[in-house]
Amino acid sequence: MSALQEIVDTQPIETTPKKYMALGNYASIVVVILLCVAPLIAKNFVIFQMTMVLIYAIAVLALNILTGGSGQFSLGQSAFYALGAYTSAILMEVGGVNYALTLPIAGGICFIAGYLFGLPALRLSGIYLALATFALATAMPQLLKLHYFEAWTGGVQGLVITKPDAPFGLPLSQDMWLYYFVLVVSMAIYVASVNLLKSRSGRAMMAIRDNEIAASAMGVDVALYKTLAFGVSAGITGVAGGLGAIAVQFVAPDSYTIQLAIALFLGMVVGGVGWLPGSIVGAAFIVFVPNIAEHFSKGLSGAVFGLILVLIIFLLPHGSRQIAYTVQGWVHKLRK
Amino acid sequence: MELLLNQVLAGIATGAIYACMALAVVMIYQAIDHLNFAQGEMAMFSTFIAWQLLQWGVPYWGAFVITLALSFAGGIVIERALFKPLGNAPVLTHVAGFIALFAIINSVAGLTWDFTIKQFPSPFGSSPFLGSQLISTHQAGMIGVTLVLLLLLYFFFQFTRIGLAMRAAAAQPESARLVGINTSWMIALGWGMAAAIGSIAGMLIAPVVFLEPNMMGGVLIYGFAAAVLGGLSSPFGAVVGGFLVGIFENLAGTYIPGVGNELKLPIALALIVTVLVVKPTGLFGRAIVKRV
């Protein structure tokens, strides 16, 4: 209310130096081996859950690029996830396209949608941007229910998708094949994202995140990179949505409400904002913690979930990357 | 023409609910610089406390005052227990904290008072107001209370020492500390006031939407939208925003073909986003000038 209040110098997103955004080589190899071996000893349902973890990890990663990379906050990721899921589902069931081919199309459509949404979003920041993206997330399920599109989307009922078999007569169950398929896609996306953030474009985005005015003074095209970040993030989320539709074998408007967007947001915070490997930790949180909470007490599952979340943010306000840094510190000490 | 007038009146009536909620949202935003996602749940919980007191035979205004005091204390306790320890954690971590608070309160209220819909009495009765079928005395009373609240807040912030201290603590924490203001307690006070205003909003809204643990879901969304539309730095803007959102919503539902109840919310939000694109700090908000 006072004049003084107008000179607020806030830094909403923590700054992460780019060399800390990814895991080191050894750590990466260990994680990949673990992810490859894990399904061999797990039951089918657990494999399905792990597949979902990987898929959500992709979506959390996408949000991480947007928020941790370019400093824009979004509660609308569920809308792009839904768009990707429906694109894949419609192409597969109505168009008869191979499931693997639907993913790049879903990603492309979502990239365009995200880029276009990024244009008006340029005018907004912080809380105002959160509200705009929130509007998108609440509108999406309602739009999918509209009877104009019912011939394709199946309206409120949604669409049922057939699960793909392993190709070339490989002796793998459907769940196991899908797991490895998702694993390959997510690793490709992870590597591409790390490289993106290390590149000139990534540096430009981070410069905008850290100080928009300074970045534009240095010649960074702020509008271009902000909308690009939205596009890339939406595109990756779309791929995750497509994979999610294939894994769950079903799309319906009510699977993609604002709750999904909030879950993805929580995943990002728990994983560590701006730390890409944390995405998988955050995704594991999204998939497993509600189940654990339910296990403790049916009636109070919400409270247990909340308490676990509070505990995590108390102990690790910077998310799982705090653990990673600590471990890294120990390793350095041991070497010396 | 009469249809238009009727719809605008009905919009103002629902707008009063949103205005109330938006006022609480702006209050806490002034004090802590965040949007509190658990605000609606806190209001819902307060309303349940009032309902419980009424069930025990406490007269309405007695229950009203006790609820107000309890909510005020509750808000301070939440700040001290949950958000003070978070301290300088990143903003997004705080937002995760709000979401956790939301889940906890919702679940505890559901377990204590279960999910059946309950009636909540209105102090103003529900007969037609001045012979009009569109606004009941309760809704008129609600508008009145909101305006009185706004006036009181204005006086509090403009003309009292503690109001000035709160503004200083929110705007310039470090300078405020240097002149001897206990900024940490000012934030706690802000939480307490926001919780108390929220409880008033809850008790006014409950006769209209009925009392149950999820009653605030929709209202809070509109409340946020109203607060953002009016500009988060302005309590007056929040109230105006509340009425505007109510009117928007009703007119969109009536005049745009194919918009049923389902599409009312997206259309209202889309309109708000359009307004924001033209005026990024809300209708009455002041632009924040950044120092580089």
Q: What is the pLDDT of residues B241-263, one digit of tens each?
A: 888 888 888 887 777 766 666 67
Contact flag B288-A8 (C-beta cutoff 8 Å): yes
Contacts of B233 in chain A (CB under 8 A): 1, 5
Please check whether residue A200 is in contact with residue A84, taking contact to mean a CB–CB distance below 8 angstroms: no
Task: For chain A, give percent helix, strand, coil, nearest 5.
Answer: 75, 0, 20
Picking from A127, A140, A260 by the largest number of B CB atoms within 10 A of its own CB, the best residue to mutate is: A127
End-to-end CA distance of chain A: 55
Q: How far apart are CA A92 and CA A251, in angstroms?
A: 12
Q: Provide the H-helix boundaries in A126-257.
A: 126-145, 150-153, 174-198, 200-210, 212-217, 222-248
Task: Tell me how many residue pairs between chain A and chain B have CB atoms under 8 A apart.
Answer: 165
Chain A: residue nearest B262 by CA? A142
Average pLDDT over residues A116-143: 82
Contact flag A313-B82 (C-beta cutoff 8 Å): no
B91 versus A241: the higher-pLDDT residue is A241
Q: How far apart are CA A228 and CA A221, in angstroms?
A: 11
DSSP A276: T
Average pLDDT over residues B108-122: 83
Kindly report, residue by residue over B134-175, the tens digit of the pLDDT: 677 887 888 888 888 888 888 888 889 988 888 888 778 888
Domain boundaries, chain A: 46-161+173-256
Chain A: residue nearest B235 by CA? A1
* Among B89, B104, B282, beta carbon nearest to A303: B104
Q: How far apart are CA A332 and CA A326, in angstroms?
A: 10
Please check whether residue A286 is in contact with residue A267, taking contact to mean a CB–CB distance below 8 angstroms: yes
Among A residues 289-308, those touching chain B with beta carbons less than 8 Å apart: 299-307
Q: How far apart are CA A88 and CA A109, in angstroms?
A: 11
Average pLDDT over residues A289-312: 84
- pLDDT of the residue at A152: 73
Q: Which long-range contacts (CB under 8 A, 24 or more apart) does A220-226 make?
A: A223/A122, A225/A70, A225/A201, A226/A70, A226/A72, A226/A118, A226/A121, A226/A122
Cα–chain-centroid distance for residue A17?
A: 21
Q: How far apart are CA B89 and CA B81, in angstroms?
A: 15
Nearest to A164 by CA among A149, A152, A181: A181
Please check whether residue B50 is in contact with residue B199, taking contact to mean a CB–CB distance below 8 angstroms: yes
A146 versus A107: the higher-pLDDT residue is A107
Instruction: Using a CB–CB cutoff of 8 Å, tell me whether A151 touches chain B.
Output: no
Give the tokens for residue B205: 């809204």
Please check whether residue B140 is in contact with residue B147, taking contact to mean a CB–CB distance below 8 angstroms: no
Place of tokens 């103003």: B124
* Among A131, A273, A314, beta carbon nearest to B85: A314
Give the tokens for residue A12: 């909403």
Q: Assess whether pLDDT exceeds 90 at residue B66.
A: yes
Contacts of B170 in chain A (CB under 8 A): 5
- pLDDT of the residue at A2: 38
- pLDDT of the residue at A82: 92
Q: Tell me the shortest Cα–Cα distance from A160 to chain B, in angstroms.
A: 24
Q: How far apart are CA B213 and CA B211, in angstroms?
A: 7
SS3 (DSSP) at A164: coil
| Alpha carbon separation from A287 to A54, A266, A284, A292 (Å, rounded) | 10, 11, 5, 10
Cα–chain-centroid distance for residue A105?
A: 18
- Which DSSP string do the residues of A62-88 spell out, in sequence order? HHHIIIIIH----S-HHHHHHHHHHHH
Q: How confident is the model at residue B130 (pLDDT cuts 50, 70, 90)?
A: low
Task: Write the burial class of residue A128 (CB in 10 Å: 0-12 exposed, 13-18 middle, 19+ buried).
Answer: buried
A176 versus B289: the higher-pLDDT residue is A176
Average pLDDT over residues A255-271: 88
Q: How far apart are CA B107 and CA B227, in angstroms?
A: 26
Question: A65 Cβ partners below 8 Å, 6+ apart?
Answer: A193, A196, A197, A205, A229, A232, A233, A236, A276
Q: How far apart are CA A186 and CA B280, in angstroms?
A: 37
Place of tokens 């924001």: B276
Average pLDDT over residues B64-82: 91
